[in-house]
A and B are shown apart, each in its own frame.
Chain A
Amino acid sequence: MNAAPLSSLPNPLGFLTYKNERARPNSGSFWSFPLFFSPHNPLSPLVDPVCPARWGGRFRILSRFNYPGRSRPVFSLRLLWLCLVSIVAARADTWTDIQRRGVLRWGGDAEGGAPYVYHPPNDPDRLTGFEVDFAEALCKRLGVKSEFVQFGWNNLVPGLQQGGNYDVIIAGLERSSENLAKIAMSRPYFAFGQQLVTRADRPQVLQMADLGRGSVGVLSGSSSFHLASAQPGLQVRVYDDNVNYFKDLELGRLDAVLTDTPIAQVNLAGNSKLRPAGPPFEFGYYAVGIRSADTHLLDRINGAIEVLLVDGTLEKSYARYGLWNAEQAALSAWKPASSESSPTSGGRRSALREWRTYLPILLRAAVTTVWVTGAGMTLAVAWGALLALVRQYSPKPLRWAAIVYIEVFRGTPLLLQLYFIYFGLAQQFGWNLSAGLAAVLALGLNYAATEAENYRAGLEAVPRGQTEAALALGMTRGMAIRRVILPQALRISLPSVTNDFIAMFKDSSIVSVIGLMELTKEYQIRGLDTGDYIGVGLMTAAIYFVLGYAASLGVAVLERRLR
C-alpha cells in the first residue's frame, strides 16, 4: 500500500527524490528504517523528534543535489538499503500522508447506512448523514479535504489493520474493548444506546427477556449481536445491513430488532407498525477508528473532536438529524477510563487453542448449511427432472416455457434470485416466506436449471434402441421413459449431480444475506471476534471438507449400487 511503486525504480534520480518525499516513520520491526529513525527512538539521530511532518523536509538534505559532501557511492548504498527496507515494510505515520495528499480518506458503509452515511432516496447520487457532516467538520478542522471510501462494514477494522485504502474509520464503530484491542480509537464523537424495537401489535414486549424463545434481528458483528447472543433462548438472526431486519420485523418474520439508537430512531419515525420496546440501554460511544501506529493522527483527531464538541459544530450537525441530546452534550466532558488498555497490535486469540468453544459454535452453523443444502438439492433434483422431461418430451409451448425457465435461472445470479424470492415476493404479493424456506427455494429453483441440463445430457445419452425395445414390449411412451430411459439417464447424470451437490454445499453460504446463520457466516463472525481467521478458518474448512467428503462417499456407494 505504501510501498514505492516499482515503476519508479529504473530512474535513479526519480528514485531518490521519490524516496525522500515518501519516507515516513513506521510501526514495523526495529530494523525497518522508519522505526529506527522514528521520533520515539532514542537512537534516531537525524530527526526532529516533535514534528514528524517535517520528516520529509529534514530528509531532503540527503538527496543527491543537497548532499553536502560525503562520498556518494557509500551514501547511495545506504539510501538504497533504506529504500529497499521501506519498500518491504513501509508504513509511516498516516498523518504525514494525509497532509501531503491534502485529503483524509475515511472508510464507511453506505449500504443501509441511514442516518449515518447514506444516499437519500430522492437524490441517490448525494451522500449524506450525520457521520458525513461529522467527517466534513473534522476534515475542515484538520485543514484537509474529506473523501468517503465505501467498504463492507463487517470488514472495516481488519481492512484498516491490513493497510486498506482509507486512513480512518468513521462508521458507527463502537469504542469497545474488542475494537480497542485491534486498533486505536479517538475520543467519542457520538453517544448511543441499544434500542429494542418490536411491532406495534406486541405491546407486552418491553425488554429482551420478554421475547422468550422469539427471534431478534441484529447487525452482524455489532454490539447488538453480542448482547442478543448472550440472552438465553433467544433466536438470533444476523443481517448485513440496517434495513432488511426492519422489513422482516414488519412482515412478522422477526419478533424484534436490537439495534443502535440512531438506527432505531430513523426507522421508528413515521412508522406506525413499529414501536420501541422499552428505553435504550447499554450505552456506548462511536469513535474514529485509527491504526494503532498512527499516534499523531490520533492526537490530531482527538484535538479536533474536542474543539467541534465545544464550539457547537457537532450540536448543529446532529440537531439537523434530530440526534442531539443530553448524552451528546456530555461528550465534551468525556475522559478516557484510567484502566483503558492502550491498543496492542493484533489483539488476537487463538481459536484453535479454544476449539472447545468454537467447534460447537461452528458445528451448530454447519447444521443449517447441511439442511439448507439437503432440502435445496432435493428440490433441485426433483424439479430439475421434471424440467428436463418437459423440455425433452412435451409439446412446444410447454417445452419453450421449460427452456426459458432454464436459461433465466442459469443466466442470472443466485443472490439476485434469493433477494427476489425473500424480499420481492413479500413486497409484491405479500408472500411472507420464512428465511429457511426462501433459502431452500432459491437454491433449489436455481440448481434445478443446472440439474435439468444434466439430465438432458443423460437422456440424450441413452441409445434410441432402448426406447424402441421398451415400445416393442407394448409400453406406453410414458412408461418407457419412466421405467427404461430415466433410470439409465439418472445413472449417466449422477456424477454431474454429485458435483452440483458439492457446489451447492459451498454456494449455500450465500443464504446468510437473509439472516441464516450458516457455516461461512459463522466463520466470518468468529474470525472477526477472535482476529484468528486462520484458526477459525481451518476448523471451518475441516467441517466443510468432512461433510463434503462424506457426501462424495455416499454418492459413490449409491453409484456402485446403481451400476
Chain B
Amino acid sequence: MSNSPLVEVRGLKKQFGPTVVLRGIDLIQSCGECVALIGPSGCGKTTFLRCLNQLETHDAGTVRISSLTLSAGETVPGSKLQQLRQTAGMVFQQFHLFPHRTALENVMEGPLHVLGTPLAESKALAHGLLAKVGLADRAHFRPSQLSGGQQQRVAIARALAMGPEILLLDEPTSALDPELREEVRDVLVRLGDEGMTMIVVTHDMDLARRLADRVLFFADGVVAESGPAEEMFTAAKTDRAREFLRRVRG
C-alpha cells in the first residue's frame, strides 16, 4: 500500500432541494482497501457513491480520488469528469448493460471508444475480462439472453475494462435472486484478493463480511459508526448499528 490514501473525502454535504441527505461525510481509504457502506434505506448511501464519481454534484466539502480533487461549487471541466470516471468505475444495482450490444461489445465499448484502444487489443482485453468473471462462453450473448448474475458480472467486467483505480459498487447483489448472488460475491471477493480498491454499498451481509476490510454505518446523513468488518458485525458499539444489523440478518 502506498503512503498517501487513494480516496480522501472531507465534509461532504449534499441536499436535494430542502431534503438534506448527506450532512458531512469523511472517508479516508487507502489503496487496495475494501470499504462496505451499510445503513437503513434512504440514508444516502447511493447518493454518496454518486457524488464520488460526480453523477451528482456535492454542495460542500472536497472529494479527492487519486490525483483528482473536486471542491464543491467548482465548475468541473468535462475532461476532468471523464478522467474521474475512468479512475472510479461504477457498477449499478440494476446493471444498466447496453441492451443493443453483446456482452463482449459491452465490455469493449469503453476501451475502444473512450480510451481509443485499438480494436484487436480491446477485444482481447474484453475476452480476458469475461473469462475472469467466468463468462468466456457468453461473449456473444445479448444482455436479454443472460441471467441477472451473469449480467452483473458483465457489468463488473465492463467497469474493469477502463482500468479503474477504484470500483464503486451500489448494491451489486440486491437485484439478484439469492442463489445467483454467490457467483457475483465470488467474483468481487477474488477482485479484492487481487488488490482492487472498492467501495461497496450493500445490504448483503455475506458480501460485506467476505469482502470488506472496513464497514461504515450511515445514519441520518453522517457516518454513525465505522470499524473493521469483524468488529462491526460481532460487537457494534452504537445501538442503531446493532439494531440495524439484527434486522438485516433477519
User: A residues touching B (Cβ–Cβ < 8 Å)?
Assistant: 463, 465-466, 468-477, 479, 483-484, 487-488, 491, 562
With known contacts A466-B98, A488-B100, A491-B100, A473–B92 Cβ distance under 8 A: no
Contact in complex: A474, B114 (CB < 8 Å) = yes
In the bound complex, what is the Cα–Cα distance between A463 and B86 (angstroms)? 22
Give the most central of A463, A466, A474, A483: most B CB within 10 Å.
Answer: A474
Residue in A closest to B111 when the chains form the complex, CB atoms: A473
Contact in complex: A471, B85 (CB < 8 Å) = yes
In the bound complex, what is the Cα–Cα distance between A473 and B85 (angstroms)? 6
In the bound complex, what is the Cα–Cα distance between A488 and B144 (angstroms)? 14
In the bound complex, what is the Cα–Cα distance between A468 and B89 (angstroms)? 12
In B88-111, the 8 Å CB interface with A consists of 89-90, 92, 94, 96-100, 109-110
Q: How many A-B residue pairs have CB under 8 A?
A: 57
Contact in complex: A475, B100 (CB < 8 Å) = no
Contact in complex: A474, B98 (CB < 8 Å) = no
Give the most central of A469, A484, A487, A562: most B CB within 10 Å.
Answer: A469
Contact in complex: B78, A473 (CB < 8 Å) = no
In the bound complex, what is the Cα–Cα distance between A11 and B55 (angstroms)? 82
In the bound complex, what is the Cα–Cα distance between A94 and B114 (angstroms)? 82
With known contacts A474-B110, A474-B162, A562–B55 Cβ distance under 8 A: no
Given A463-B96, A474-B110, A474-B115, 5 further pairs, Cβ under 8 A: A469-B98, A473-B110, A474-B83, A479-B113, A488-B99
- B residues near A483, Cβ cutoff 8 Å: 109, 113
Chain A binding surface, main DSSP class: helix
Residue in A closest to B161 when the chains form the complex, CB atoms: A473
Minimum CB–CB distance from B232 to chain A (whole Å) comes to 28
Contact in complex: A562, B158 (CB < 8 Å) = no
24 contacts between A and B (CB under 8 A): A463-B96, A468-B55, A468-B96, A469-B92, A469-B96, A471-B85, A472-B85, A472-B89, A472-B90, A472-B92, A472-B159, A473-B109, A474-B83, A474-B115, A475-B82, A475-B113, A476-B82, A477-B78, A479-B113, A483-B113, A484-B98, A487-B100, A488-B99, A491-B100
For the complex, is B53 an interface residue (Cβ under 8 Å from A)?
Answer: yes
**How many residues of chain B get a CB closer than 8 Å to chain A's CBs?**
24
User: B residues touching A (Cβ–Cβ < 8 Å)?
Assistant: 53, 55, 78, 82-83, 85-86, 89-90, 92, 94, 96-100, 109-110, 113-115, 158-159, 162
In the bound complex, what is the Cα–Cα distance between A471 and B81 (angstroms)? 9
Contact in complex: A473, B158 (CB < 8 Å) = yes
- B residues near A471, Cβ cutoff 8 Å: 55, 85
- A residues near B159, Cβ cutoff 8 Å: 472-473
Contact in complex: A466, B96 (CB < 8 Å) = yes
With known contacts A484-B98, A491-B100, A474–B109 Cβ distance under 8 A: no
Minimum CB–CB distance from A77 to chain B (whole Å) comes to 77
Minimum CB–CB distance from A539 to chain B (whole Å) comes to 42
Top-9 shortest CB links A-B: A469-B96, A465-B96, A472-B90, A474-B86, A474-B82, A474-B85, A473-B110, A474-B114, A487-B100
Residue in A closest to B78 when the chains form the complex, CB atoms: A476
- B residues near A484, Cβ cutoff 8 Å: 98
Give the most central of B94, B109, B159: most A CB within 10 Å.
Answer: B109
Contact in complex: A472, B109 (CB < 8 Å) = no
Minimum CB–CB distance from B186 to chain A (whole Å) comes to 23
- A residues near B92, Cβ cutoff 8 Å: 465, 468-469, 472
Minimum CB–CB distance from A1 to chain B (whole Å) comes to 61
In the bound complex, what is the Cα–Cα distance between A491 and B100 (angstroms)? 9
Residue in A closest to B94 when the chains form the complex, CB atoms: A465
Contact in complex: A473, B162 (CB < 8 Å) = yes
- B residues near A469, Cβ cutoff 8 Å: 92, 96-98
Residue in B closest to A463 when the chains form the complex, CB atoms: B96
Residue in A closest to B164 when the chains form the complex, CB atoms: A474
- B residues near A465, Cβ cutoff 8 Å: 92, 94, 96
With known contacts A465-B92, A469-B92, A475–B98 Cβ distance under 8 A: no
Residue in B closest to A462 when the chains form the complex, CB atoms: B99
- B residues near A475, Cβ cutoff 8 Å: 82, 113-114
In the bound complex, what is the Cα–Cα distance between A472 and B169 (angstroms)? 12
In the bound complex, what is the Cα–Cα distance between A466 and B97 (angstroms)? 7
Minimum CB–CB distance from B74 to chain A (whole Å) comes to 18
Minimum CB–CB distance from A495 to chain B (whole Å) comes to 16
Contact in complex: B114, A479 (CB < 8 Å) = yes
- B residues near A474, Cβ cutoff 8 Å: 82-83, 85-86, 110, 114-115, 162
Minimum CB–CB distance from B10 to chain A (whole Å) comes to 23
In the bound complex, what is the Cα–Cα distance between A77 and B6 (angstroms)? 109
Minimum CB–CB distance from A111 to chain B (whole Å) comes to 52
Residue in B closest to A491 when the chains form the complex, CB atoms: B100
